[in-house]
Structure 1
Amino acid sequence: MTLLRPEAMSKIAVLGLKKYRQQIVSILQEMSVIQIEQISKEISSYLSTEKESDAHRHIADQLIRIRGLLSALPPTSLGEKIRFSSIDEMDNALLRLDIDKNVASLEREKENILTEIRNAQNNIKLIGEFSFFPEDLDILHLKSARSFFGRIASERYSEFKKKLESNNQDIVLYSKGGEKITEFVLVVLPRYPSNALASIINLYNVHMEAVPPLKGKPQEVIENLMHNLEKFEKKLANINSQLLAVSQADYSLLKGLEEQLDIENKKLEVIDNLGVTWDTFTLEGWIPKSMIENTKAAVEKHSKGTMMFVLNTNEVPPTLQDNPKRLRVYESFIRFYSLPSGNEFDPTLVFALVFPVFYGMMFADVGYAIVILLVSRWVIRRVEGGKKNFTIMPKFLRNFGKTILQPTQMVKIAKAITPGCIIAIVLGFCFNLYFGFHLNEYVFAFLNSIGGLHLPEDGTIFDPLSTFGLRKLLLISGYVGLGMVSFGFILGIINDYSHGNKRHAIGKIGWLMFGWGVVFIGLGLIGHENINPMASVQGALYFALIFGGIGLMFYGEGTRAMMELPSIISHILSFTRLVGIMMASIILADVIDHVFLRVHDNGIIFALVGFIILIVGHLFNIILGVFEPGIQGARLLYVEFFSKFYHGNGRPFKPFGFRRRYTHNQYPTQTPK
């Protein structure tokens, strides 16, 4: 692991005989350490690519076949993983698998039975709805008449009936009225005009359907349909049991074949795009430097004459972030802004160390921090641990949260703010703040009485609301801003120098000098120092930093730097928002507590109102404590810090490989990184 850098990458080339390319690609796939790239333009003109091979088409066809079988069979429990030592062994397993005709026959029979079941269920529902018809349904199937089942809103039925009967009464109508819907059986004789019938149906918004070809009175028809339905369901159960038996015998094999065929298909896609000559092949790709020797040894072990060597290139490598495991949760915050390029600094470590401090400082209250910490741990326990038997949040709030964030995103945020909550607890104890109340005095009085300690009687170790405390906090936040901005410029100088951009590096040195010069002058004015450059060496040095910095900025970045001179001051002072947001939270809590304490002795109604204000007010402040410090803390890093050195726009490292679930590696001695 390289501090503040992505994993170091090298571009390699593999050159070998064509007869070994299947083994080489398989080894690289199983090790999952190389991102395969297009062949360099310098040598691509000497190579060719092969068209899709017969083997590729065969693998694709077999993959479709196996997936078709799996879609027809019910899932069953899986046995041990399967190993195919070669494509020939896999092909032999495919040849021995002789279940296609049986499964296809059972599947066709199943589809036919399901169709019959659906028809029977629909007819049972339909005939049950129109069971008021007193006669045999067979009389409705006249060659010289049309018969329909229909539904209409009950309040419109009488008008509908009158309209139908106005055409010489060439209809027969049976009906059953309901509170909202009236069902009817309509027989239309040949002389009834079809266009008139269609107009009436549209006019009264009638839903009609043809009477199904069934015989017998409605109750008899329903009984026959129920009997047939029972027979169909027994047949379906028998077919399902046969399919289950096939699945129990071959499901593990089918899943293994599907996975292996999918892997072979993707390997053949790579093989078909390799650069080849008559008897050799070559491929290029990016690989972590730490894996070069292991990969080279594996390639040489399973093939003869294959060479792997590092290429000299100025290309920007793909990015594989390499941070301590506990800090990787903060990588998502960096990727949200932009993935670092493979040849620049990865600020994840800085973000992981600084963000929790900023977050905790902006709502430094023991009570608020404990509530947010408990909610964070509950989210992690519920999502990652799958323990949903205990909840501390109403369902409507959980549903609202899911509309904003996915559960995995909630877990990342919960893990990211957990250290900040601990810092907030420590600061809240020092500030003597517990939901805005001051409780340390009771604890300190007890400790002083039994231990002879000399803790502050009012319980406040540091008072952020006092003039002294506020001035100190503002000064500290200014120093933090100066340190973060300076550190950003230092990283930018190193970045530019390592990339050969010496003028830009000099320009950033100028920004650094200018910023420090302005800060020194500001501190001198606050401390009533003599900063007259004509009468003070210190003053002359301060102004030399300012004007020297301006000169270097002009040399490195031109007139654009002159237009942006005030920005560095605003970036440093921007960190005072840490104190501003903290003060807003403390004062809001104090106001809420003050209102509660003023009204709680004025009768039960005022006490109830005060209690509601206390709960709702602190809940509102807690919600602000979740979002505002997080947003502002991240913003300070994104804008004021990252802008000094960070470019982003990196492309992620995507190694050629697959996660096996049902099969073993073909070369089991190789272990992926």
Structure 2
Amino acid sequence: MAIVKMNKISLIGLESDKERILENLMKLGVVEITDPKEKISSDEWKDLVDVDGDGESVSGLDAQIDRVSAIIDYLDKFDTRKKPLFSSKRDINASELNMILQNQDKLWSVINSINEYEEMLSNLKAEKNKNSNLILSLRPWEALDIPLDLTSTASSTVLIGVVPEMADTDKIKQDLSDTVPESYCEVLGKDKEQSYLLIIYLSSKEEDALNVLKQYGFSKVTFKDLSGTVKHNISQASKTIEKIDKDIEDIEKKIASYVRYKDDLEILHDHLAIERERKSVLVNLLKTNKVFMLEGWLPENSSEQVKTLLEKSSDCFIEIIKPGEDEEFPVLLANKAFPSSVESITNMYSVPNSKELDPNAIMAPFFILFFGLMLSDGGYGAIMTILAGIILKAFKLDEGTKKFMRLMVYCGISTMLWGLLFGGWFGIPNIPALWFNPSEDPELLLSYSLLFGAIHIYVGLGVRGANLIKDKKYLDAVFDVLFWYILFTGFILFVLPYIPKVDAESVTGLVNLGKYLMVIGAALLILTQGRDKKNIFAKLIGGVSSLYDLVSFMSDVLSYSRLLALGLATSVIASIVNQMATMFGFNNILKIIAVVAILAFGHIFNFAINALGAYVHSCRLQYIEFFGKFYKGGGTAFEPFKAKTKYINLK
């Protein structure tokens, strides 16, 4: 339970030493500089100091970072180098960084060139789309062998247009011929939506011809700025597309040649990010003409070292202060390997409050044991352990991925343990179990699942009591924890005969004890749970209504039946996969291949879906049934002023 104790730091230094002090703080990376808005808003401070910082510089760096980041992402499309399965930051030293930064002008020139090529590509692709769309629009008219710009002669009119597919084109021809004998109608083509027509008639008969065509929903089609036949225009557009494709290929080759600068651009990106961090932190500083001031938090065990180093490197005044008894401070966790593996799960729910116990060390064994019980196949656990172990050893991982892989190792070992106890190994039948086979005795597993749930909830109540004692609320620990223990224990003993696999006659004495404990616990809770109310009636009503939590307790315990459900699901699906595979037999090579394929696919699917289910449901049991008993959360993560990089670790 390792929430690191924090101290406050106040520093006043000369304006001339500010850059050096900030650089040292960034290198140390253990001081979170806080916002001074409370101070600057107070009457005694606002006339004495100003807020430091330059918003324009930060905005300028943001724009530069965005430009570099966009180019890096763009070059990713052209980077054919083999990428590692797990990406990690590269280690570079200060001399390597300085060498890259000396060539900044070259890198910005590369960025400008890529932007120009990108714009050229965008224009070419737009032109290609334009010609592609033109070809699509002309395809239905390919049978038209007169120029598209021919719309009339001295005495006739030429029309092209469409009618709905349902229109009878033969009837259109007949009606047009009857009404305007001096006309010509040709069906150039049809598709699912419409028919394409060529109409020629004497200009003097235009009104009669159009009246006929309107009856059939005729719509005139024109192709502006096009001359020559349809086939000629399609041919020209196709040639244009071929040329554009060649131009695009040439430009993409030029862009691809810049991939060699990608690593240097990543270094430039992180250098700019560090500079931005330096500039943006200035808004948390107060200043006068000659001096500046900052306040923040730092770990208690680093306080003296930080103070000594800063005072040696520059002229400044530093004061280290312990926080007030009720004062909140940012939360930094310092857990060992086992509890730290579940920190990401806790943080998805909420960062711990600085005044409560870190739940990770308590939660870790429950999460891992429940995960293993829900997956419960030793073969799957062995695969998970081996794969996660190889990844941990063979790859350079960032801290978050490393913790997750460590968690998968622990969960894999837990799954193997339950596989040994239950005899579950890839769904193979008749493997002896060290304890019992849940498929043969699911009621026994249900009983133990409920027992594990009750233990889990009791531990959660115990942590609530520990938090109350830590806050010196000793009576609250008695009233809100011990009295609930009495009631819940009485209830558990009272319902023992209804638990599967429990002999009702052998627990008669415990049932009677449970009745007394329930009455005693209920009476104590009625007298104490409404203690914050103002009058006696409200106190009693509050106490009585609190007993409803007994229903919540029963509901919470029943939630642990999912341990049974998911554990059985894994073994049942695995055995079904085996049965399906062996139905093919082993008579020939094709059947053997089919058996191997079914086994591989089936077990991979079963492993993936049930491992995911075990993870999700184990999280749910922690978040709702466990954390709900004691966890306040709502803390603020400790975010020290340091170099925050995306691609490199600066040594």
TM-score under structure 2 length normalisation = 0.65
- Tell me the distance in 1 between the aligned counterparts of 2:562 and 2:239: 78
User: Is residue 491 of structure 1 aligned with residue 463 of structure 2?
Assistant: yes
Q: Figure out how many residues of one structure are paired with residues of the other and give that number.
A: 587
Asked if 1 retains the 8 angstrom alpha-carbon contact of 2:368 and 2:414, the reply is: yes
Q: 1:14 to 1:527 in 2, by over 3 A?
A: same
Partners of 1:233 and 1:223 in 2: CA distance = 15
Shift in CA distance, 244/379, structure 1 to aligned 2, threshold 3 Å: closer
Determine the structure 2 residue equivalent to 1:601: none
Q: 1:85 to 1:228 in 2, by over 3 A?
A: closer
Question: 2:354 corresponds to which residue?
Answer: 342
Deviation per CA, 1:149-207, whole angstroms, max 9, x where unpaired?
A: 6555544362677788899699875532346353445689988999x98997898596x
Residue number among 546, 558, 562 corresponding to 1:564 in the alignment = 546
Counterparts in 2 of 1:466-485, with a 5 A limit?
A: 484-485=456-457
Aligned mate of 1:426, from 420, 428, 435: 420
- Are the equivalent residues in 1 in contact too, given 2:377–2:425 (CA < 8 A)? no
Distance 1:622 1:252 in 2: 38
Q: How far is the alpha carbon of 1:570 from its aligned partner? A: 7.4
In terms of mean alpha carbon deviation, does 340-349 or 152-161 score higher?
Answer: 152-161
State the match for 1:49 in structure 2.
Answer: 51
Out of 368, 372, 377, the residue aligned to residue 369 of structure 1 is 377
Query: What does residue 630 of structure 2 align with?
Result: 645
Deviation at 1:271, TM superposition (A): 1.2
Q: 2: CA distance between counterparts of 1:83 and 1:187?
A: 81
SS of residue in 1 equivalent to 2:195: strand
Aligned pairs for 1:111-510 within 5 A: 112-140=123-151, 154-156=165-167, 158=169, 174-178=186-190, 180=192, 182-184=195-197, 204=217, 210-240=222-252, 247=258, 253-292=264-303, 295-296=306-307, 299-300=310-311, 303-305=314-316, 307=318, 309-310=320-321, 312-313=323-324, 314-358=326-370, 369-370=377-378, 373=381, 418-429=412-423, 440=432, 484-508=456-480, 510=482
Following superposition, the deviation at residue 38 of structure 1 comes to 1.6
Task: Give the aligned partner of residue 35 of structure 2.
Answer: 38
Task: For residue 156 of structure 1, give the secondary structure of its aligned residue in structure 2.
Answer: coil
Counterpart CA distance in 1 for 2:613 and 2:69 is: 50
CA distance in 2, matches of 1:567, 1:331: 29
- Residues 197 and 56 (structure 1), Cα distance of their counterparts in 2 relative to 1, 3 Å cut: farther
Letter matched to residue 285 of structure 2: L
Which letter does structure 1 place at the counterpart of 2:476? Answer: H
How far apart, in 2, do the equivalents of 1:633 and 1:72 lie? Answer: 40
Instruction: Look up the SS of the partner of 1:12 in the other structure.
Output: strand
Checking the alignment, whether the CA contact within 8 Å between 1:25 and 1:271 is kept in structure 2 is no
Q: Shift in Å at residue 344 of structure 1?
A: 1.0
Asked if structure 2 preserves the Cα contact closer than 8 Å seen for 1:485 and 1:572, the reply is: no
* 1:15 counterpart SS class: strand
Q: Residue 635 of structure 2 aligns to a residue in which SS?
A: coil
Shift of residue 345, structure 1, vs aligned partner: 1.7
Give the conservation status (yes or no) of the 8 Å contact 2:449–2:563.
no
Contact 2:422 2:438 in 1 (8 A): no
2: CA distance, partners of 1:80 / 1:622: 36
For residue 214 of structure 1, report the CA deviation from its aligned partner. 3.6
In structure 1, what residue type is equivalent to 2:50? S
Question: Would the alpha carbon gap of residues 232 and 500 (structure 1) be closer, same or farther in structure 2, given more than 3 Å must change?
Answer: same
Instruction: Quote the residue 1:612 is aligned against.
Output: none
| TM-aligned CA deviation for residue 495 of structure 1 | 1.2
Distance 1:480 1:22 in 2: 57
- Number of the residue aligned with 2:9: 12
Q: Residues 510, 255 of structure 1: CA spacing in aligned structure 2 closer, same or farther, 3 A cutoff?
A: closer
- 1: distance between equivalents of 2:62 and 2:210? 56
Distance of 2:322 and 2:211 partners within structure 1? 79
Secondary structure at the counterpart of residue 427 of structure 1: helix
Change (3 A) 1:7 1:564: same
TM-score (norm 1): 0.63
1:433 and 1:226 map into 2 onto residues whose CA distance is 62
Q: Is the 8 A contact 1:513 1:548 kept in 2?
A: no
**Identity within the alignment, %:** 19
Deviates more, 1:280-289 or 1:632-641: 632-641
Task: State the alpha-carbon separation in 1 of the partners of residues 621 and 465 from structure 2.
Answer: 20
Which one-letter code corresponds to 1:428 in the other structure?
F
Contact 1:170 1:191 in 2 (8 A): no
Q: Please list, as runs of the form range in 1=range in 2, the aligned pairs for 1:650-669 lying within 5 A after superposition.
A: 650-657=635-642, 659-661=644-646, 665=650, 668=651
The whole-number CA distance in structure 2 between the counterparts of 1:9 and 1:146 is 91
Task: State the alpha-carbon separation in 2 of the partners of residues 24 and 651 from structure 1.
Answer: 25
Q: Once structures 1 and 2 are overlaid, which stretch shifts more, 59-68 or 329-338?
A: 59-68
Q: How do residues 582-597 of structure 1 correspond to structure 2 at under 5 angstroms?
A: 582=564
AA partner of residue 360 (structure 2): T
Map of 2:84 onto structure 1:
none
Cα distance in structure 1, aligned partners of 2:201 and 2:405: 67
The CA distance in 2 between the partners of 1:244 and 1:27, in whole Å, is 40
- 1:256 & 1:552 partners in 2: Cα distance? 63
Seen in structure 2, the aligned counterparts of structure 1 residues 464 and 107 have a Cα distance that, compared at 3 Å, is closer
> Cα distance, 1:408 vs. partner?
13
Contact preservation (8 Å) 2:13, 2:317: yes
Question: Would you say the 8 A contact 1:299–1:306 is kept in 2?
Answer: no
Closer, same or farther: CA 138–200 of 1 in aligned 2, 3 Å? closer
How many Å separate the matches in 1 of 2:643 and 2:15? Answer: 23
Distance in 1 (alpha carbons) for counterparts of 2:254 and 2:350: 54
Kept after mapping to 1: 8 A contact 2:51/2:286: yes
Unaligned stretches of 5+ in structure 1? 387-406, 441-458, 534-538, 598-614, 669-673
Q: What SS does the corresponding residue of 2:293 show, helix, strand or coil? A: strand
Pick closer, same or farther for the CA change 1:461–1:50 going to 2, 3 Å: closer
Which residue of structure 1 aligns with residue 499 of structure 2? Answer: none
CA–CA distance in 2 between the matches of 1:643 and 1:72? 46
- Once residues 199 and 24 of structure 1 are traced to their aligned partners in structure 2, the CA distance between those partners, rounded to angstroms, is 89
Given that 1:337 and 1:638 are in contact with CA atoms closer than 8 Å, whether structure 2 keeps it comes out as: yes
Residue deviations 1:369-404, cap 9 Å, x none? 247647867997999999xxxxxxxxxxxxxxxxxx
The verdict on how the C-alpha distance between 1:152 and 1:355 changes in structure 2, with shifts beyond 3 A counting, is same
